[in-house]
Amino acid sequence: MHRTRVLMFTTACFFLSSINVVVAQTSPTFMLQVSVVHTETQSGDDEEVTVTMKNISDHDIRYGVGGPGPLFRLHVQDEHGNAVKETVRGMKAHDTDPNRPRFAGSVFSARLKSGETLTDKIELGKEYDLSVPGVYRVSAYRTDPWTHTVVTSNEIQITVLPN
């Protein structure tokens, strides 16, 4: 009887410890944050959005550099919740141009160590059509290759004023 209890206890501990491992592996390995210097801008002016990725894991994160498409994706919506169209430059930068030639070039891997941050600046008005005055909501997202989850940043608002 004592052996059965010990076996059941050992099995339960093993089962519970394996659950903790699964939970730990589904936590994001990084966080994203977007910021902007000015929350109001004139139509036709360009606003630079800063995207910061911080490694919040206990291991290095590898990411691709030099390939097609950006490191982060932006989600840009107008005040009605509609996706804002990309400019010609934006379609090329985001690798969404339907007439694009096949990618040719070098891709290499870089490493973001635990606790380190990576910052990217995006010229929002050059990549998205912000010609209509109004309020735009901007956030960034990226798939975490370690956990296969989509990590989303905070959301900022930018007001485009008429000239």
User: Domain residues for 35?
Assistant: 28-161
Nearest to 126 by CA among 34, 36, 45: 45
What is the per-residue pLDDT across 89-147, written as a single tens digit (0 to 9) for each? 888 877 787 887 766 666 778 899 999 999 999 999 999 999 999 999 999 999 998 88
Q: Kindly state whether residue 6 falls inside one of the protein's structural domains.
A: no
pLDDT of residue 25: 52
Q: Kindly state whether residue 43 falls inside one of the protein's structural domains.
A: yes
Least-confidence region, from 37-51, 56-70, 112-126 = 56-70
Q: CA-to-CA distance for 30 and 143, rounded, in angstroms? A: 10
Q: Kindly state whether residue 18 falls inside one of the protein's structural domains.
A: no
User: How many domains would you assign to the chain?
Assistant: 1
Q: Kindly state whether residue 14 falls inside one of the protein's structural domains.
A: no
pTM greater than 0.95: no
Mean pLDDT for 38-51 is 86
> Mean pLDDT for the chain?
82
Mean pLDDT for 72-101 is 87
Q: Kindly state whether residue 72 falls inside one of the protein's structural domains.
A: yes
CATH number of the CATH domain containing 110: 2.60.40.2970
Q: Kindly state whether residue 125 falls inside one of the protein's structural domains.
A: yes
pLDDT of residue 117: 95
